């Protein structure tokens, strides 16, 4: 039954006319854009370079800054709640973003640095703990693959550490910052 109705609708002249006008509108919008040609190898190479140079710590910082530039404004424009709730919501969102970004960046950066210090090649005069995270068979610590290994291992260790710091640091810091911001804006807790 439904398929017959849908079939009649899609085969009707009205539907075909609407579809034709939609295509015409889409093409008009595309015609407004300037012509551009992308060099695939150059674009892919640039994206690859960015991916190699930015660690998870810097990635967290970028996400935090972009969240801080957008999410509080979304909360501030929420018309489904009263003014007081809206203010507290904005303060809480800002506090969560700031606390999460600061602790996330610091822990990731610290763990990546620790892994870099603890993944040296075994040699005379180097304590055993300094080669604790060095993969077996590693010959050079200067290769690109080894640097990516250090970043990845540091990120994994940071994720394990953050299982505990989310409750020990993030939650209390978020609460403190929320209360501070609410107090500054003149709202209630």
For residue 94, what pLDDT is reported? 96
Rounded distance between C-alpha atoms, residue 166 and residue 41, angstroms: 41
Q: What is the pLDDT of residues 96-136, one digit of tens each?
A: 999 999 999 999 999 999 999 998 888 888 888 888 888 88
Write out the two tokens for 154.
């540091």
The token pair that represents 24 in the structure block:
């015409």
Q: What angle do CA 152, 154, 156 make, to 5 degrees?
A: 70
Q: Is the pTM of this model over 0.75?
A: no
Q: What percent of the chain has pLDDT over 70?
A: 93
Contact 68, 91 (CB under 8 A): no
Q: E-strand spans in the chain?
A: none
Query: Is 40 exposed, middle or buried, given 0-12, 13-18 or 19+ CB atoms closer than 10 A?
Result: exposed
Q: Percentages helix, strand, coil for the chain, rounded to the nearest 5?
A: 75, 0, 25
For the chain, domain boundaries? 55-184
Encode pLDDT of 27-71 as tens digits.
Answer: 888 888 888 776 777 777 887 777 778 889 999 999 999 999 999
């Amino acid at each position: 039954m439904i398929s017959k109705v849908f079939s009649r609708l899609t085969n009707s002249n009205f539907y075909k006319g609407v579809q034709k006008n939609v295509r015409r509108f889409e093409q008009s919008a595309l015609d407004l854009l300037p012509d551009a040609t992308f060099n695939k190898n150059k674009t892919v190479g640039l994206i690859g370079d960015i991916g190699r140079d930015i660690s998870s710590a810097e990635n967290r910082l970028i996400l935090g800054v972009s969240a801080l530039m957008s999410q509080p404004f979304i909360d501030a424009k929420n018309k489904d709640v009263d003014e007081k709730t809206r203010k507290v919501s904005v303060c809480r969102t800002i506090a969560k973003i700031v606390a999460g970004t600061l602790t996330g960046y610091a822990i990731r950066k610290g763990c990546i640095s620790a892994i870099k210090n603890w993944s040296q090649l075994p040699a005379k005069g180097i304590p055993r703990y300094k080669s604790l995270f060095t993969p077996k068979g590693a010959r050079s610590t200067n290769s690109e693959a080894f640097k990516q290994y250090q970043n990845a291992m540091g990120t994994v260790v940071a994720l394990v550490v953050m299982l505990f710091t989310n409750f020990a640091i993030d939650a209390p810091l978020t609460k403190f910052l929320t209360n501070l911001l609410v107090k500054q804006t003149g709202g209630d807790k």
